[in-house]
Amino acid sequence: MKKLLVAALAGALLAPVAIAQIVPNPPMAAQRPHSVKAPFGATRNDEYYWLRDDTRKNPEMLAYLAAENAYADAVLAPGKGLADTVYGEIVSHIKQDDSSVPVLRHGYYYYRRFDTGADYAITARRKGSMDAPEEVIFDGPAMARGKGFFQIGGYDVSRDNRYIAYAEDTVGRRQYVMRIKDLQTGATLADTIPNMQGSPVWSDDGKSLYYVDKDPVTLLSKRIKVHAVGTPASADKTVYSEADDSFYIGIGRTTDDKFICIAMESTVSSEAKCTSAARPGAFTSLAARQRDFEYNADHVGGRWIIRTNWNAKNWKLMTVPDAHAAHGRAMWKDLVPVDEKVFIEDFQPFNGFIAIEERSGGNKRIRILTDAGKSSFLDADEPAYTMGLTGNAEPDTAWVRYDYDSLVTPTTTYETNVQTGERRTLKVQPVPGYDPSKYVTERVWAPARDGTLIPVSLVYAKGFRKDGSAAMLQEAYGSYGSSSDPGFSTLNPSLLDRGMVYAIAHIRGGQEMGRAWYDDGHLLHKKNSFTDFIDVTRYLVKQGYAAPGRVAALGGSAGGLLMGAVANMAPQDYGVIVAQVPFVDVVTTMLDASIPLTTNEYDEWGNPAQKPFYDYMLSYSPYDNVSHQAYPAMYVGTGLWDSQVQYYEPAKWVARLRARAIPGKPLVFRVNMEAGHGGKSGRFERYKQEAEWTAFMLMQLGVAPTVQ
């Protein structure tokens, strides 16, 4: 049986043309009773639990996903031309033969460059000067050829500059394989280390590599191993094993290259263990772990500099000389005291000064603090912007390098001389055909229902009228203390030139306004994130930035949880919801410690094995709260090989929406069969995916298909 799908392109900006397409009925997954039990006795029925297949080989499950993709193709067919147009617009704003700003490391300038039309970058270096001959390290296009997915993770070059150890993923599940390349001969050594993550780290003598070994089932970072070059992986020795499944672990070097450090981190606790890079031995803790005590440390100039929340909710900087470092935190001294209005997010030590990333008033700025005690801020000229330290690999310099961008200003890389104040522009992100003077960005403060003022970053075309007629895309994340910075996007001109407004709601759950902002948006306060988002929408509509019903909501991963909750709580406020790799089956996932990464999340969401958390999580879990109501048009995306949010969460959610929701608006479920959490690999592939959901959004909101 067939039915006629009519894309009702309503709105005064559209020509009165209806586009019709014959499409099949949407796929309806089979319902099979399955009890999900909590330790204290609560039981829920999960009729789509069968869609979970950890091997990803179940023919019935794969057939269902294929049917959803076929249905998506049919529903999206009327917008294919518009998607192609949007894709062309995005790509037109990208300088295809672009290259990064070179970074100096141990006498070589490292950089990445793209050839015209290439999906993958070439990573190269030049010795001593950018005028020296180019040495290609990774030929991305050649390495990716014939692979459905390809990504190079972290890498490290041996201190004699001859060998590079790197992590490679050809599946999309972030289970990397480590390989070693001889940069003199170009040959890849026989050494192969499976199931690792992050960047490997060389010992100073270039004979050993330290790396993180993952649990193959839970994908947790469990061990630090050391590999002797030229020996089999089976002979690698474990130098550290993490017994607490709530901790992630990683490994790296200090800025001055003198120490190799293991970083251990949970949501509410952290620890660092370090050893000499020149003479590796036992890893010694800088300060013992303790619940609700967090810190990270770096080393330059004979002292440790520590960023910590010890008696400092918004964090502070402390320091300890080498001679006293072994005595724990009792010997630490304040360097930058805590400030109730300023959140210290990160820092970079140099010989003679420290560059500090701070959040204040919803923006991220950079402060310079010299060893002599002089403090100053780097300039910013817009109401909503972001700054970030980048490419500062050598500590013995007076120049600090950073990126600056906003919703209007393309990413610009500067370096400033701390001694003279001179500022140099190293690169402005080239955006062909883009004129920043055509657009306006502003920061407004939307009142939440409890009276809290939520910062909102906005951008629109110059001449925009707040008359309540426009369409708007509103985005947010609001989890893990991860802040949503107002950065430049090559997609935005396509929206703004069609008369749309783009808004970022800096909701609670991030740290835009400090640590309290995060604390008030997770665990038993998580619903604040959802109501903040809804209240921002209603405020912006009331202020005339958008028309009622012409608002699209966008979020991914934990932001996809936000989308699912908003869809259940306020479907009438949105014309479209776009949920990418959404974490929507909160209770079932958090009850199952075998699911990758679950145990790391208890202090973020709560442990539903405990009834108070179970009840609270159940009250907002998107999958558990699907009801017989009208939902907005929805575009849901996932990747079969996603290791962060398993594909079956959105699959089950979509299946339940199809069965329970009042039929009406289209529901599209796009499954990338060769991708993980970040979507398909390749520079242009992600823009194709972006263009697809954008076209769907534009049509559903009644936005003109052509630029005004």
- Rounded CA-CA distance 598/409 in Å is 38
Q: Is 227 a catalytic residue?
A: no
Residue type at position 452: T
Under DSSP, the state recorded for 624 is G
- Rounded CA-CA distance 344/339 in Å is 9
Residue type at position 385: Y
- Rounded CA-CA distance 297/274 in Å is 10
Which residue is associated with the tokens 């009890």?
35
| 36 and 49 Cβ atoms separated by less than 8 Å | yes
| 653 and 583 Cβ atoms separated by less than 8 Å | no
Structure tokens at 253: 């070097």
Half-sphere exposure of 244 (CA within 13 A, CB side): 18
In degrees and rounded to multiples of 5, residue 91 shows phi and psi of: -65, -30
First to last CA, the chain: 40
Long-range contacts of 524-529 (CB under 8 A, 24+ apart): 524/606, 524/612, 524/613, 524/616, 526/605, 526/616, 526/617, 526/620, 527/565, 527/619, 527/620, 528/448, 528/450, 529/476, 529/478, 529/479, 529/562, 529/565
| 473 and 500 Cβ atoms separated by less than 8 Å | yes
- Catalytic residue chosen out of the listed positions 557, 585, 621, 624: 557
Structure tokens at 457: 């970053």
Closest CA to 579 of 484, 476, 439: 476
* Three-state SS sequence of 578-597: EEECCCCCHHHHHHCCCCCC
Structure tokens at 633: 């048009």
Half-sphere exposure of 652 (CA within 13 A, CB side): 27
Q: Sign of the C-alpha dihedral, residues 516, 517, 522, 526? A: positive
Closest CA to 29 of 656, 641, 672, 668: 656
- Rounded CA-CA distance 322/326 in Å is 8
Under DSSP, the state recorded for 132 is S
- Catalytic residue chosen out of the listed positions 266, 585, 677, 681: 677
112-140 burial string, b = 16+ CB within 10 Å, else e?
bbbeeebbbbbbbbbeeeeeeeeeebbeb
Which residue is associated with the tokens 């030590």?
349
Structure tokens at 538: 């209603």
Q: Is 106 a catalytic residue?
A: no
**Angle at which helices 527-542 and 611-620 pack, to 10 degrees?**
30
Q: Is 557 a catalytic residue?
A: yes
- Catalytic residue chosen out of the listed positions 257, 573, 624, 642: 642
* Residues annotated catalytic, as ranges: 557, 642, 677
